[in-house]
Amino acid sequence: MAEGDALSTHVFGVQLGGYLVESVQEISGLTVEEEVVEVRQVTSDGKQIIRKQPGARQSGEITIVRGLDKSSSFTDWIKETLNKGAVNAARQNLTIEIKDSESQTVRRIQLMQGWASKWEGPSLKAGESSAATETVTITFEEIVVE
């Protein structure tokens, strides 16, 4: 990759624990956010000072859109929380790898203790000729950008 070239957003991979998640079309909501703490003080001469400083890091959510296929490992993981309610058993670390044009990992994003909090199936319409996709919202406790 030449200096100054930006990465393409269409070359990426997702791993769930030790499994590669297949047929991923889109990932959105990758955000790191901290609370902002506002501290108000008064000086000895009565002048108000307002300071802002970083607070606690917030957890987050991402959305994965993927083709509805026969891949079982990701589907089984989703069922752990949405069908069985077994959030503790389903908590997994997810890794998103952004790759360059030669499929070398350039940036890695770790989502810690993630679990599926929402699933949305495909829109079904007679006569429609589009791919069937599922949308999964994954809630996580911590994000680490490497």
Summarised one tens digit per residue, pLDDT across range 24-74 is 999 999 888 889 999 999 999 999 999 999 998 888 999 999 998 877 888
Domains of the chain: 12-145 (2.30.110.20)
| pTM for the model | 0.80
Q: What is the mean pLDDT of residues 16-25?
A: 84
Contact 62, 145 (CB under 8 A): no
Summarised one tens digit per residue, pLDDT across range 113-125 is 999 999 999 988 8
Q: What number of other Cβ atoms are within 10 A of residue 122's Cβ?
A: 14
Q: Calculate the CA 72 to chain-centre distance.
A: 20
d(CA 41, CA 98): 45
Q: What number of other Cβ atoms are within 10 A of residue 134's Cβ?
A: 19
Q: Calculate the CA 77 to chain-centre distance.
A: 15
pLDDT band at 94 (very low <50, low <70, confident <90, very high): very high
